[in-house]
Each structure stands twice: as structure tokens, then as C-alpha cells.
Amino acid sequence: MYNFHYHLIWVTKYRHQTFSTKELVDEMKDILRMVAKDNDIVMEKLEVILDHVHV
């Protein structure tokens, strides 16, 4: 059995501050959690910042 750890960072186009409201941040977190669950992925940390996402 293998144990892989990845640090993924997504940046918005031109670093626009897309995630400027709590609703947008929460929606992005919900989407990422749903995708992770559908693919049996365990996210150790998740952070959504104004212009990028860390997983």
C-alpha cells in the first residue's frame, strides 16, 4: 500500500481576488470536499484565500 501526500495550489486567472466573500469561500470548499469524497481522497488541510486555494 502506498501513501502519497500532495500540496496543490490553484491560482485564479491574473490573481483576481475571486474568493472575496464567505459564500464564495464556502462554495469552493464544498465543491472540493465533494470531489475528494467522490474520489476517495483524504484532504489533510484546505484553505481558500482571496486569489488562490491550498489543498
Enter the pTM of the model.
0.86
pLDDT the model gives residue 3: 86
26-to-5, 6, 20, 45, 46 alpha-carbon distances in Å: 24, 22, 11, 14, 11
Task: Tell me the pLDDT tens digit for each residue of 19-50.
Answer: 999 999 999 999 999 999 999 999 999 999 99
pLDDT the model gives residue 52: 96
Q: Is the pLDDT of residue 2 over 90?
A: no
